[in-house]
Amino acid sequence: MTDTPWWKSAAIYQVYPRSFQDADGDGIGDLEGIRNRLGHLVELGVDALWISPIYPSPMADFGYDVADYCGVDPIFGTLADVDRLIAEAHARGLKLILDFVPNHSSDRHPWFVDSRSGRHAPKRDWYVWRDPGPGGGPPNNWVSNFGGPAWTYDEASGQYYHHAFLSEQPDLNWRNPEVRAAMIDALRFWLDRGVDGFRVDVLWHLIKDIDFRDNPPNPDYGPGMPDIARLLQVHSADQPEAIEVTRELRATLDAYPGDRVLIGELYLPFERLMAYYGPDLTGAQLPFNFHLILAPWNARGLARLIAEYERALPPGGWPNWVLGNHDQKRVASRLGRAQARVAAMLLLTLRGTPTLYYGDEIGLMDGVVPPEALRDPWALREPGVGGRDPCRTPMPWDDGPNAGFSAATPWLPLGDGATRDVAAEAADPRSMLALHRRLLALRRATPALALGAYETVAADGDLLAYQRRDGEARLLVVLNLGPRPATFEAGAPTRTLLSTHLDREGPEPAGALTLRADEGLVLAFAE
């Protein structure tokens, strides 16, 4: 077990830097703020933090529009602050993962400024330029993920450039070897400074159809769905060559000591997701599995989903699970607070690396963000369908001004932070925070949970039961996904190690186990 790479048994914690902790009093979270709060992550019991982008950016998409891949935006701090954060994280036993945004840069990046300067500019081919379509409009029917055409016309040169997101986020041309080399240099810049890995933004988008064919219509499109859902993204993303690029990124990491990890953002069905592990696992170690976010929440459906995912994994491929991130409705808002505790138990007892989203450890709900406070460019472009501000509200730490997040008015309203905070949850032995700490501690102390095999035991009514096994050691997890009590026949005497209610431990009476509404149990088999 000693040669098991750290990222297999690790729990990862995502920090959205604007919203975690503001140290310099400008109402926006920063690197120094994160450093000041590392203690929270250590007490929580996670092993690594992933920070959403901190690079210089005009912030059209809050850092996902990068103007310099080897710098730090002054809003967040300086390079010296990154170095300090890496050093202190490492000193506290935490790994640090950066966000890498290779699909597109900012339109203010000097590369794009050059590219846009004319058809014969040295970096023209670093981005995706096409002549107008036959009728004089955009080259094809591709839609931006934030709505509207995925092409913007450049008057001066008479061509369109492609952007899978905002027009301020032009797509880089990953078929151009100079682009690849420049981006790999950027990875090395951060690897040299000691970062432990990268979460790669929209990894499946990097390569587009070489002939730029039209995407077919989506037969399931209906009113109320975002514009991007009108078409199936058959030709604009997930091309076979994206796997080659993934392998090149991975090889770059592998040239460094210490099991650096490559995590891919991939919203794909299982069979396509698996391709990103690469042949012989030479691709991403953790192609993000978002299916728990997207799946309906019921026992049979979840059991099937887990089994299908486990079955689809390539030999030796390590699983991973996610309940939320900065683009999704928060888990407590999707499922309700009581069921969010069961979801946390599921996330932290499944086989595979879990990633937690900041705030979910205290059961934070989506914030109410009034229309005049909306900041997300998607929300502003497609009102009603695309708003991501509610899941990005500031982390509430205590009952101080602005919940301890900032001395100044926060960049987004506090939302749910008015009613719960880390300090109050830390003082309550049965809080959501206490549950997360217990689950993470149990996971760390129990090889069967951290690395053991997974086996579905039952999925009946609202109950989902499974075992985790490491040699002789076996643990049973029974989750009640419903609002009514339910009974489960364990078939052998059991002992509760942990209940989501945090008020139940020790030997269970003989006979069927009774679970209360929204209760989950981790059990050992009594000898």
Tell me: does residue 73 bind Mg ion (CB under 5 A). Answer: no
Verify whether residue 185 is a known catalytic residue: no
Q: Which does 518 bind (CB under 5 to 8 A by kind): ligand GLC, Mg ion, none?
A: none
Selected binder of Mg ion within 15, 28, 342, 412 (CB under 5 A): 28
Please identify, among the stretches 30-38, 64-72, 89-97, 215-223, the one whose residues bind Mg ion according to the rule CB under 5 A. 30-38
Among 168, 156, 192, which Cα is nearest to 59's?
A: 168
Q: Which does 64 bind (CB under 5 to 8 A by kind): ligand GLC, Mg ion, none?
A: ligand GLC
Instruction: Please report how close the Cβ of residue 22 comes to Mg ion at its closest, in angstroms.
Output: 4
Q: Burial letters for 107-146: b for 16+ Cβ neighbours within 10 Å, e otherwise?
A: bbbebbeebbeeeebebbebbbbeeeeeeeebbbbbbbbb
Tell me: does residue 201 bind ligand GLC (CB under 6 A). Answer: yes
Shortest-Cβ-distance residue relative to ligand GLC: 64
Q: Which does 202 bind (CB under 5 to 8 A by kind): Mg ion, ligand GLC, none?
A: ligand GLC
* Range 252-311, binding Mg ion (CB under 5 A): none
Selected binder of ligand GLC within 7, 13, 55, 64 (CB under 6 A): 64
Tell me: does residue 357 bind ligand GLC (CB under 6 A). Answer: no
Nearer to Mg ion, 32 or 201 (CB): 32
Nearer to ligand GLC, 169 or 431 (CB): 169
Q: Which does 165 bind (CB under 5 to 8 A by kind): ligand GLC, Mg ion, none?
A: ligand GLC
* Range 152-171, binding ligand GLC (CB under 6 A): 165
* Rounded alpha-carbon distances, angstroms, from residue 250 to 13, 183, 243, 345: 21, 13, 10, 31
Classify strands 463-470 and 453-460 as parallel, antiparallel or unpaired: antiparallel
Q: Which residues pair with 523 in a beta bridge?
A: 476, 496
Please identify, among the stretches 26-34, 94-102, 206-214, 458-466, the one whose residues bind Mg ion according to the rule CB under 5 A. 26-34
Structure tokens belonging to residue 95: 């790994």
The C-alpha torsion from 302 through 305 and 309 to 311, rounded to 10°, is 110
Q: Which does 163 bind (CB under 5 to 8 A by kind): ligand GLC, Mg ion, none?
A: none
The string of DSSP codes covering 165-227 is: S-TTSPBB-TTSHHHHHHHHHHHHHHHHHT--EEEETTGGGSS--TT-PPPPB-TT--TTS-G
Selected binder of ligand GLC within 195, 202, 249, 465 (CB under 6 A): 202
Binding residues with ligand GLC: total (CB under 6 A)? 9
Selected binder of Mg ion within 12, 15, 16, 22 (CB under 5 A): 22
Nearer to ligand GLC, 23 or 202 (CB): 202
Between CA 283 and CA 287 the distance in angstroms is 9
Asked whether the beta carbons of 518 and 493 are under 8 A apart, the reply is no
Q: Burial letters for 29-62: b for 16+ Cβ neighbours within 10 Å, e otherwise?
A: bbbbbbbebbebbeebbbbbbbbbbbbbbebbbb
Tell me: does residue 30 bind Mg ion (CB under 5 A). Answer: yes
Phi, psi of 372 (to 5 degrees): -75, -15
Among 287, 110, 96, 98, which Cα is nearest to 182's?
A: 110
Structure tokens belonging to residue 98: 């950066």
Between CA 12 and CA 355 the distance in angstroms is 5
Selected binder of ligand GLC within 61, 73, 360, 421 (CB under 6 A): 61
Other CB atoms closer than 10 Å to residue 372's CB: what's the count?
Answer: 5
Nearer to Mg ion, 71 or 336 (CB): 71
Tell me: does residue 24 bind Mg ion (CB under 5 A). Answer: yes
Catalytic residue among 265, 366, 376, 382: 265
Tell me, what amino acid is at 374? L
| Contact track, ligand GLC, 95-134, x by CB under 6 A | ------x---------------------------------
Catalytic residue among 24, 32, 61, 201: 201
Tell me, what amino acid is at 261? V
Verify whether residue 505 is a known catalytic residue: no
Asked whether the beta carbons of 490 and 467 are under 8 A apart, the reply is no
Selected binder of ligand GLC within 26, 125, 244, 327 (CB under 6 A): 327
Q: Burial letters for 238-263: b for 16+ Cβ neighbours within 10 Å, e otherwise?
A: bbeebbebbbbbbebbeebeebbbbb
Residues that bind Mg ion in the complex, under the rule CB under 5 A: 22, 24, 26, 28, 30
Catalytic residues: 201, 265
Residues that bind ligand GLC in the complex, under the rule CB under 6 A: 61, 64, 101, 165, 201-202, 265, 326-327
